Structure 1
Amino acid sequence: MKQNFTVRQGALDGVEAFLSVARHRSFRKAAADLGVTPSAISQAVRVLEERIGAVLFVRTTRSVGLTEAGERFLSRAKPAFEELVAASEVARELGQRPTGLLRLSVPRAVVPLLLEPLLASFCQAYPEVEVEIAVSKEVVDLAAEGFDAGIRLGQLVAADMVAVPLTPPFRLVVVGSPSYFTGRKRPRHTDDLRQHACLRWRRSNGALASWSFENNGHTLEIAVSGPLIASDFPTMMGAALEGIGLAQLPEPMVSDAVKAGKLVRVLDAYAPMLPGVFLCYPSRRQIMPKLRAFIDHVKSRKASVGQTKGR
């Protein structure tokens, strides 16, 4: 049967005093070592003995020795206390300078778009920080899953998150390859999409996403159809480049391919504006130096973030 254990309040009180007396075999020397009075050391040890229910030291006017109970307590308490001190030092180091493991939850599409330009320079600037990139199409709970921060489209950032912009707002554009348009008319109105093969995106909740447009300040949601369903933007872009169909993608993602003539934009008059991409994290309180360093690095290099690479 599972037992429930609790640590009583003050359970560690007096342990450091006990260990110092045991090391020096002297209450006076232990007091000098810890920077307190001998009477304070005696009181701390007395309270510890009362709490444990056993005498730990044999005291005479000339010497201090350990009882059998004291020897047994020392054999277990000393390594445990040293481990606690070491743990405190490790935690203090993480709280004082950028070091340790920085875990980021990101959608696959932003890795080449945003992270590759940032990661190389960040890792060079902060060699003691290890960066772990967890790519997921789902919007995970950052705190529950142990992530320091995540990267999200603006409309997916929760209200209780602190958000740092990585990109300015951008449009969601429809593109197709020149080979796709061979023998086909380019759509001029959103209604024309009924005659076109449209690549679709399945959300993390399993639903197929509609294509979104704006017309005279009104939002239009259109259910399209086509030969391919993907769960991420890079796959949709690759399919569009191969001429499989039209895709609706973030403008920064396709800008290089458009400039190179590999993709053609259509329906620009209806392209909706998105808030952009943000680095988000749960709280402003007690930000660890590793995350603060990454945030500052992002802000300092914001001008170059989002400059799209080609395929």
Structure 2
Amino acid sequence: MRTTDLSELAAFDAVARHRSFRRASEERGVTASAISHAVSNLEARVGIRLLNRTTRSVSLTDAGAMLLSQLSPAFGDIGSALDALNQFRDTPFGKVRINAPNSIAPFVLGPIIGPLIAANPSLELEIVATDRLVDIVEEGFDAGIRLGESLRDGMTAVKIKPRLKFAVVGSPDYLAERSVPKTPADLTNHVCVRNMYPSGVGYPWSFGRNGEEIDVEVKGPVALHDHELMIETALAGVALVYVWEDRARPYVETGRLIACLDDWIVPEDWLYLYYPTRRYISAGLRAVIDALRATSS
């Protein structure tokens, strides 16, 4: 097979998996027009339309679906074979794309990036942090990081971090003007930042103690999904906020924020790195997993 044939097949494989020329171009590191040209050349050469294209969508023809079903395992085998060459290198080589929630990425991935790249200079790490729920297969990621409760079927999950906790925090100035809440019910007397997902859907502040679970729909003039903005709002002394404990810890330790209701906070589900079960684990991804697991104790 000519090199151009393999390149055209790889372009088709990327478009077919993503159902998008743009996403395929991002994965392949070329322009969308180059991807389109390669797929058109492939269709002209085999004499069969493989993709149905409109201005808004891309779908597979029956022939395209059959070709994809046979190509995907083949490209997986090629990737595995190339990755096996890492045994002849001192360190892993290649790109690893990771998706992680923006709200936790700094304190989960931040500590490992420097040491990981220093120990593996041929590794290219690409991290996209967003609280939007991402389909890592469709968007071309090697792996993602999520709480266990949000994992889909067909994924292999590796436990990488002790169970995370939220914290309710406010500034000394704010709490000097109001009584410190002792129970979740006391929050009705406080101004609070309302938490929401990137979609705009809100979620309650959750508490629990002695088997009792309580969700509180707090009230306040501001709704945010970015935890860094929540911290800034708390520092401004205008409201209590409900953020990841690790986000608030530096400010609590220096006295700029005060933690409340600690005995009512229950740990969330475990944090996992996950990847498609049928996908081989590259040496680069294995290095990422090992680095994350080393920080989990």
TM-score, with normalisation over the residues of structure 2?
0.68
Tell me if 1:96 matches 2:90: no
**Which deviations, in whole Å up to 9, do the C-alpha atoms of 1:121-156 show, x marking residues without a partner?**
111111111111112121100111100111112332
Identity percentage over the alignment? 33
Q: Match of 1:189? A: 183
Tell me if 1:137 matches 2:126: no
Cα contact 2:160–2:289 (8 A) shared by 1: no
Alpha-carbon separation, structure 1, partners of 2:147 and 2:79: 35
Q: Match of 2:258? A: 264
Mark the CA change 1:170 to 1:297 in structure 2 (over 3 Å): closer, same or farther.
closer
Cα contact 2:191–2:238 (8 A) shared by 1: yes
Tell me by how many angstroms 1:5 deviates. 6.3
Cα contact 2:165–2:265 (8 A) shared by 1: yes
RMSD of aligned alpha carbons: 2.6
SS across alignment from 1:292: helix
The one-letter amino acid paired with 1:163 is A
Find 1:163's aligned residue among 111, 134, 157. 157
Tell me if 1:243 matches 2:232: no
Mark the CA change 1:243 to 1:194 in structure 2 (over 3 Å): closer, same or farther.
same
SS across alignment from 2:152: coil
Tell me by how many angstroms 1:191 deviates. 1.6
SS across alignment from 1:180: helix
Find 1:149's aligned residue among 143, 149, 154. 143
Mark the CA change 1:89 to 1:221 in structure 2 (over 3 Å): closer, same or farther.
closer
Mark the CA change 1:274 to 1:89 in structure 2 (over 3 Å): closer, same or farther.
closer
Cα contact 2:164–2:271 (8 A) shared by 1: no
Q: Match of 1:254? A: 248
Cα contact 1:210–1:223 (8 A) shared by 2: yes
Q: Match of 1:59? A: none
Tell me by how many angstroms 1:276 deviates. 3.4
Structure showing greater Rg? 1
Q: Match of 1:112? A: 106
Tell me by how many angstroms 1:285 deviates. 4.6
Find 1:200's aligned residue among 190, 194, 198. 194
The one-letter amino acid paired with 2:225 is S
Tell me by how many angstroms 1:174 deviates. 1.0
Tell me by how many angstroms 1:103 deviates. 0.7
Aligned pair count reads 223
TM-score, with normalisation over the residues of structure 1?
0.65
- Which 5+ residue runs of structure 2 have no aligned equivalent? 1-39, 49-76, 87-91
Q: Match of 2:267? A: 273
Q: Match of 1:76? A: none
Alpha-carbon separation, structure 2, partners of 1:220 and 1:94: 49
Q: Match of 1:122? A: 116
Tell me by how many angstroms 1:238 deviates. 2.0
Cα contact 2:161–2:293 (8 A) shared by 1: no
Alpha-carbon separation, structure 2, partners of 1:151 and 1:159: 15
Mark the CA change 1:7 to 1:262 in structure 2 (over 3 Å): closer, same or farther.
same
Q: Match of 2:277? A: 283
Alpha-carbon separation, structure 1, partners of 2:242 and 2:102: 16
Alpha-carbon separation, structure 1, partners of 2:176 and 2:226: 26
Cα contact 2:80–2:280 (8 A) shared by 1: no
Aligned pairs for 1:168-179 (under 5 A) are 168-179=162-173
**Which deviations, in whole Å up to 9, do the C-alpha atoms of 1:216-269 show, x marking residues without a partner?**
313211111112211222221221122221111222222222121111111222
Cα contact 2:167–2:243 (8 A) shared by 1: yes
**More helix per residue:** 2
SS across alignment from 2:126: strand
